[in-house]
Structures are given as structure tokens and as C-alpha cells.
Amino acid sequence: MNESENVWENDIQFWNFVGENKKLVGIPVSEGQGLDILNALRDVYLTIDDNKETAMSMLTMLGTFIYASSIGEGEKYTNEIQVLSAMENFDRSMKEILDEKPK
């Protein structure tokens, strides 16, 4: 950080700090689960240059999760994301096994 404790020299310095320090700012999902909001934002930041559509989708999911958590539905939404993610990973793996190009 610079002389001021609230200012970072550049974006990368801040996001590296976040990546090295897990669980800085969390949103509770259930009694045993939570979302590390800063590392979720870091994931979006790291994805933007490589795949803008994926980064936009990640932001939408994050926004939806934050909203769902605010109305007490965070755990339900997290379970749905985990199922969708598992299905996408399965589809990607099957395409690789069949020598098809993953999307």
C-alpha cells in the first residue's frame, strides 16, 4: 500500500493481496457456508480480459447470490449453482473424452 493505508499503487497489487488473504469479507450462506466476496470479485477481474461473456455471467451470478442471501435464499441458490457447475464440468469432460472441443 501507499503512504495512505486506503490506497493501492495499482489494481494488480490489490487483487494479489486479496488472492493471498482468503476470507477477508464474507457473506453467510448457511451455518457452515459463506461466500468470500472479495475473492469472487477477484475471479471476475481475472476473467474479464480472457472471456468477457464469462465475466459478465459471473457478475450476474454474484449479484443474484447477494440478492438471494439478502432474502434468506442464499443456501438454496448456492446448491443450484453447485448442481449447474457439476453438470457443466461433466459436459466439458465428456466432450474432451470424445475429442470434441469444449466451449
pLDDT at 5: 59
From 15, 24, 29, select the one nearest 78 (Cα to Cα): 29
Name the residue with higher pLDDT: 72 or 4.
72
| pTM, full prediction | 0.67
Q: What is the CA radius of gyration of the chain?
A: 17
Give the pLDDT confidence score for residue 101 in this predicted structure.
Answer: 56
What residue ranges do the domains of the chain occupy?
A: 11-73
pLDDT in tens, 6-46: 678 888 999 999 899 888 788 777 777 778 889 889 999 99
Amino acid type, 52:
K
Higher pLDDT, residue 5 or 26: 26
Supply the pLDDT for residue 44.
Answer: 92
Query: What digits encode the pLDDT tens for the residues 89-102?
Result: 777 777 777 765 55
